[in-house]
Amino acid sequence: MSESSPHLVVRGVSKRYGPTTVLDHIDLTIRRGELVTLLGPSGCGKTTLLRAIAGLAQPDAGKVELAGRDITNVPPHKRNVGVVFQSYALFPHLTVAGNVAFGLKVRGTAKREIDTAVERALSLVKLGHLASRRISALSGGQQQRVALARAIAVEPDVLLFDEALSALDRKLREEMQVELRRLLQDVNATAIFVTHDQDEALTMSDRVAVMNKGRIEQLAEPRELYLRPASLFALNFVGLSTRIHGTVLAASDGKVDVETKVGRLSALGNFQAGSPVIVAARPEQLRLGEQGEANSAAGRVRSVVFQGSRTLVEVDAGAGESLLAELSGRDGAIPRVHDEIRLSWPVTETFAFPMEALG
């Protein structure tokens, strides 16, 4: 099978629990060897989608195909998926090696093959020395690795991670993100991560699916997701932004002029004149002072937050609007609180979103 052919295909999958629509006609295609994150707030349906792929939740409509096989009605134990749960769900009555061997044992693999596979899986997660330990004698980070080794040992067609790193403390989590990504790339695994942590999504994935209310709002590479958010929700959920309310005055081929309370601004977007919109820009696009054709707005500095390599400056632009600028030391003087300043940013990095999408 070639690298680019579809490996996991989710087609029109819907799921309702009582009156609540948890998944609303989800379409998702993942290539072999791809690492994809389902990112969204709790209740957006990301875990249900993962469970539908694993066979732990039966969709009301739609199809799931894995490695060229329709698995929509296949029970979980015949799907050949690997799941790493948030709570790890390691079997407390088995040792580390016993947990890793479990999937192979129930498949009836020969003893010698099991031993080899367990050894390899444990060395992959650097836990070979703890094979005979009991699960209760392991730290959270070690348990996470055992859960990963157990899922990898059966060589599943797809690995599914349900908030698998969220139980770890921040420093360990950040280390594991990098290590896990490298490890999964080494074994050429196809994996789906479910998380509400945008940093985790941006660090670990080839593509990120931003989910909201049972739908995928945007499926894009992390860089594109950040630079070209497709919706106000995606913009808000990933990274920081300046957002200003306004009304479209004039529109021409993908660009709009917007009347706002902080002045006239230009943005990318397709709207009819008179439409209420929200104009947005990423904070690192905002610079001190005027620049020729760029958008600009003035105001009084409300707060200055120093964060090492960058400084976040929040400006009260009046009329309830505020500007958020991320200034690096290279930009020269950092303003102080109460300073009156003017900020400008390029039109090509300014986006207009429909107002009604807010919320």
Partner 1 sequence: MTEAALPAPVTAPAVDRERLTAIGFVLPSFVIIAGVFALPLVLLLGVSVVDANGLTFAHYKRLLGTPYYLGVIWNSLRLGLLTTLIAFLISYPAAFALARARGALRAILLATLFLPLAASVIVKAFAWTILLRSDGIVNETLIALGVIEDPIRMIFTETALIVGAVNIFLPFMILPIYAIVAQLDPRYAEAASTLGASPVVTFFHVILPLTLPGIIAGVALVFSLSVSAYVVPTLLIGEKYPTLATTIAKAYLLAREPGFGAAAGVVLLGIAIAVVALSARLSREPK
Question: Distance between CA atoms of 195 and 12, rounded to whole angstroms?
Answer: 22
Q: Within 174-213, which residues bind partner 1 (CB under 8 A)?
A: none
Give SS3 for 15. strand
Question: Distance between CA atoms of 239 and 234, rounded to whole angstroms?
Answer: 9
Per the structure block, which two tokens stand in for 115? 């031993």
Q: Are 210 and 237 in contact (CB under 8 A)?
A: yes
Q: Which stretch binds partner 1 (CB under 8 A): 14-22, 147-155, 177-185, 259-267?
A: 147-155
Q: Write out the DSSP string of 123-157.
A: HHTT-GGGTT-BGGGS-HHHHHHHHHHHHHHT--S
Strand bridging mode 276-281 / 287-288? unpaired
Binding mask 1-40 for partner 1 (x = CB under 8 A): ----------------------------------------
87 in contact with partner 1 (CB under 8 A): yes
Please identify, using beta-carbon distances, which residue of 114 and 238 lies nearer to partner 1. Answer: 114
Please identify, using beta-carbon distances, which residue of 80 and 212 lies nearer to partner 1. Answer: 80
Please identify, using beta-carbon distances, which residue of 138 and 352 lies nearer to partner 1. Answer: 138
Please identify, using beta-carbon distances, which residue of 194 and 317 lies nearer to partner 1. Answer: 194
Please identify, using beta-carbon distances, which residue of 102 and 193 lies nearer to partner 1. Answer: 102
Q: Which stretch binds partner 1 (CB under 8 A): 116-124, 148-156, 200-208, 237-245?
A: 148-156
The helix-helix angle for 140-153 and 96-106 (nearest 10°) equals 20
CB 109 → partner 1: shortest distance, Å?
A: 10
Q: Within 113-132, which residues bind partner 1 (CB under 8 A)?
A: none
Q: Which stretch binds partner 1 (CB under 8 A): 29-37, 62-70, 88-96, 270-278?
A: 88-96
Please identify, using beta-carbon distances, which residue of 150 and 243 lies nearer to partner 1. Answer: 150
Q: Nearest-CA neighbor of 251 among 269, 224, 226, 276?
A: 269
Secondary structure (H, E, C), 304-328 = EEECCCCEEEEEECCCCCEEEEEEC
Please identify, using beta-carbon distances, which residue of 59 and 283 lies nearer to partner 1. Answer: 59
Binding residue for partner 1, selected from 46, 79, 173, 196, defined by CB under 8 A: 79
Q: Are 230 and 276 in contact (CB under 8 A)?
A: no
Strands (E), 167-273: 191-195, 207-212, 215-220, 242-252, 255-260, 263-268
Q: Nearest-CA neighbor of 8 among 38, 44, 42?
A: 38
Total binding residues toward partner 1, as defined by CB under 8 A: 29
93 in contact with partner 1 (CB under 8 A): yes
Buried b / exposed e along 220-243 (16+ C-beta atoms within 10 A): bebeebbeebbbbbbbbbbbebbb
CB 104 → partner 1: shortest distance, Å?
A: 8
Binding residue for partner 1, selected from 154, 189, 191, 278, defined by CB under 8 A: 154
Binding residue for partner 1, selected from 9, 67, 74, 89, defined by CB under 8 A: 89
Per the structure block, which two tokens stand in for 13? 């999958």
103 in contact with partner 1 (CB under 8 A): yes
Please identify, using beta-carbon distances, which residue of 77 and 223 lies nearer to partner 1. Answer: 77
Residues of the shown chain interacting with partner 1 in the complex, contacts defined by CB under 8 A = 54-56, 75-83, 85, 87, 89-95, 102-103, 106-107, 134, 150-151, 154
